Amino acid sequence: MNRIFILAWRNIWRNKRRTIITIASVFFAILLALVMRSMQLGSYGHMIDTIVHSYTGHIQLHANGYWKDKTLDNSFEGSDSLTKVIESVEGISLVVPRLESFALASFSSKTKGVMVIGVDPAQENKLTDLSEKVVDGKWLTSETNGTALGQTLAKYLGVDIGDTLVLISVGYQGMSAAGVFRVSAILKLASPEMDNSFVFVPLQKAQDFYSAPGRLTSYAMLIDNNQKLAEEASDLQKILGKSHFEVMTWEQMMAQMMQQIEADNVSGLFMLAILYMIVGFGIFGTLLMMISERKRELAVMIAVGMKKTRLALVIASEVLFITLVGLCAGVAAAFPLIMYYYHHPVWLTGQTAEAMLNMGFDPVMPFALQSDFFIAQSLVILIIAFVAGIYPVISVFRITPSKDLRR
């Protein structure tokens, strides 16, 4: 076996220039693929993180039918026992209760339709980190009768800290709802839509306002690992049953965003496929040349007693060496680059940054650093090399010493 590898290793360096060009093609392909993929997955991760931590959480629990018809009549009775059941599901790390509904918000002569979100201020802060988004005033506490609203909305209504905001709506089961709330905090929310319409009030005050004591419209949850999203949601749904509750993942709730990510992901993979196809043909061409110019030599080896299977192993080892050298060099070059940008993401400026801000995302291009895409891209290159090597290896079995020795 050792001799086969020695033979293969020396063979690939017979035509140094050609081998270096082939190795370089593998090197640049894997480098480009890893960096591209890291950027793509990094930006998806950032988008998902922004979505999850700005509003939805990873999973939400609603009363059946709430997502289609978001009314307070589709709310459910929240309780400590229900919270404990949810928390008992392995992997769920945070459970946040909410009561949400629409209302008209008035101040002075301005009125605007808003989304009132009743939250447990401490729990909510763990999910959405709203206290860090306060630009004026202080984040809510459970005891205060305060409200926190987006700065665009505050600007529209002309309210300031300490002003009293009037909310009017229809409460649970058609009860009329009216209340006054002192503005405690003005927030800078990432999404322009949220910044222009969200009004946070302590949960109990919201329940009182909507005449819905103890009722909730959702539990938003965080899980430890987004990769296990579907699994966790399914586990929760199984435990709670399907008769009263619907369990939804952020992917289901943000279907449009998910489709955009998927479409972008497919286009990225398509680009990679083209790149790999070019590399595959490059490897194939090199191998074919290596075989055709050595047919006589290979015929001699068979003539003197080398089994064709062993000879095929030599050729397969040559494919493997060329690919592995390019692959290892590519991974070695990509890793520090990705590592650097993972810790120092690229901050965008100008119109691109503005566009991203308008979509509710930070103008940053983060890189992902996950072992899975390193492994996946390396495997893809190895599979391509394997496929490219099939024909040259098969051609070894077609060598006829009596004919090929005459070449």
Residues contacting another protein: total by CB under 8 A: 20
* 240 in contact with another protein (CB under 8 A): no
Locus of tokens 């940054």: 353
| Least distance to another protein, CB of residue 285, Å | 21
Question: Near another protein by CB under 8 A, which window of 137-145, 333-341, 369-377, 399-407?
Answer: 399-407
* 122 in contact with another protein (CB under 8 A): no
Closer CB to another protein, 307 or 343, in the complex: 307
* 306 in contact with another protein (CB under 8 A): yes
Closer CB to another protein, 21 or 303, in the complex: 303
Q: From the list 305, 336, 349, 350, which residue makes contact with another protein (rule: CB under 8 A)? A: 305
| Least distance to another protein, CB of residue 392, Å | 18
| Least distance to another protein, CB of residue 296, Å | 7
Q: From the list 155, 307, 343, 344, which residue makes contact with another protein (rule: CB under 8 A)? A: 307
| Least distance to another protein, CB of residue 11, Å | 6
Separation of CA 114 from chain center: 30
Closer CB to another protein, 2 or 371, in the complex: 2
Q: Residues 262-301: x/- map of binding to another protein (CB under 8 A)? A: ----------------------------------xx--xx
* 325 in contact with another protein (CB under 8 A): no
* 312 in contact with another protein (CB under 8 A): no
Closer CB to another protein, 10 or 238, in the complex: 10
> Hey, which residues between 12 and 51 contact another protein (CB under 8 A)?
14
The residue ranges that bind another protein (CB under 8 A) are 3, 7, 10-11, 14, 296-297, 300-308, 310, 401-402, 405
